[in-house]
């Protein structure tokens, strides 16, 4: 946020989580993960990831994560990363 002040309004959070495919998976199972037919139902839990990211933005992006009134999240297999978008709620 640079020199900007933390947001003070109600907010929406969009969190896209991509988790690595376990190395122990066969080529067939790895392909199923990549094409979306096998879903990432193993740890880490999506709610724990979301909580960690929302808590880490307190007093930086917004004053407190209690301001988040709407949440959209997805967990998929792929190269590991997390993408977060915070918008002011209308």
Tell whether pTM > 0.95: no
**pLDDT tens-digit series, residues 6-63:** 999 999 999 999 999 999 999 999 999 999 999 999 999 999 999 999 999 999 999 9
Whether the per-residue pLDDT at 80 is higher than 70: the answer is: yes
Q: Where are the domains of the chain?
A: 11-88
Which pLDDT score, from 0 to 100, does residue 1 have? Answer: 67
pLDDT band at 90 (very low <50, low <70, confident <90, very high): confident
Instruction: Determine phi and psi for 85, rounding to 5 degrees.
Output: -125, 125
b/e code 50-74 from CB counts within 10 Å (16+ = b): beebbeebeeebbeebebbeeeebe
Q: What pLDDT is attached to residue 46?
A: 97
């Amino acid at each position: 946020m640079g020199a900007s002040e933390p947001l003070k309004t109600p907010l929406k959070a969009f969190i896209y989580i991509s988790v690595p495919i376990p190395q122990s998976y066969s080529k067939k199972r790895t392909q199923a993960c990549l094409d979306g037919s096998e879903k990432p139902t193993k740890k880490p839990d999506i709610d724990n990831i979301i909580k960690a990211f929302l808590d880490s933005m307190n007093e930086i992006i917004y004053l407190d994560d209690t301001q988040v009134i709407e949440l959209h999240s997805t967990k998929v297999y792929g190269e590991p990363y997390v993408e977060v978008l915070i918008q002011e709620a209308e």
